[in-house]
Structure 1
């Protein structure tokens, strides 16, 4: 019998919670990936979504769950007491007024997620067209495991509020 890993259990919870919101008509799932990296022996799951009714606005949220070789081996060989996964929440929006919008994004997301979260912003621009994207990452600075399952479900309203606020800034 297959005993699911921490990664499998957390992935199932995230996927179920996101698809429940999709079925309720609150969001639309726009992308999903489930990778096994054989070169580095790691796993990564991503699911991206936008607020329903705002499709085409180009503000999206991606939840990324990763587990590296050290954590997987420690869990499977039972050498780690508390194996875990890394969770990153990413938001993508069009690149606009970067001089003024970047401090606003930081301020808005710190109000939503708390000042103890690591928030980083990456700006990308095509040289010829001038078009670009603004990627914002919210990281938690620690590994998560099955004891955080309730926290994962409680994060969804924060993601939805972040999407709404970033949409307002993108106008």
Structure 2
């Protein structure tokens, strides 16, 4: 019989919580990826969604759960230590001005707290026109692995993601 890994258990809970919201009409799931990288022997699961009011799907949230070779081996070989996964929450939205990033960070810190690592990456097509938009990729990291005992925390983060999507609407193309 297959014994699921920490990754499998966390992925199942995350996926269920997100699809429950999709079925309730609170979000729209737009993408899902369940990847096994045989070159580095790692696993990554990403699920992406947006608010149903965002008909153009311009502002989205992706939740990424990952387990690398060391973490997988630690669990499968029953080595000392606790096997865990890495979790990141990412938001994507178009903005026009670089200065908007500090406003976005302040809004997200109010939701996620001061201890979270918030990283923003701006992208644009070349040649960049002054009136063109950047794509802002905002990544929230937690600075530590998550474990099976954090399953409830995973579900409790969903409202933070929804609140973040709602707050980011204010900065759309700003």
State the TM-score, normalizing by the size of structure 1.
0.96
The answer to whether 1:18 aligns with 2:8 is: no
Q: Which runs of 5+ in 2 are unaligned?
A: none
SS of match in other structure, 1:151: helix
The answer to whether 1:84 aligns with 2:81 is: no
The answer to whether 1:105 aligns with 2:104 is: yes
Runs of at least 4 residues off by over 4 Å: none
Does the 8 A contact of 2:95 with 2:171 survive in 1? no
For residues 2 and 81 of structure 1, what CA distance do their matches in structure 2 show? 22
Look up the match of 1:137: 139
Does the 8 A contact of 1:60 with 1:92 survive in 2? yes
SS of match in other structure, 2:50: strand
User: How many residues in Structure 1 have an aligned counterpart in Structure 2?
Assistant: 170
Q: Which runs of 5+ in 1 are unaligned?
A: none
Does the 8 A contact of 2:62 with 2:89 survive in 1? yes
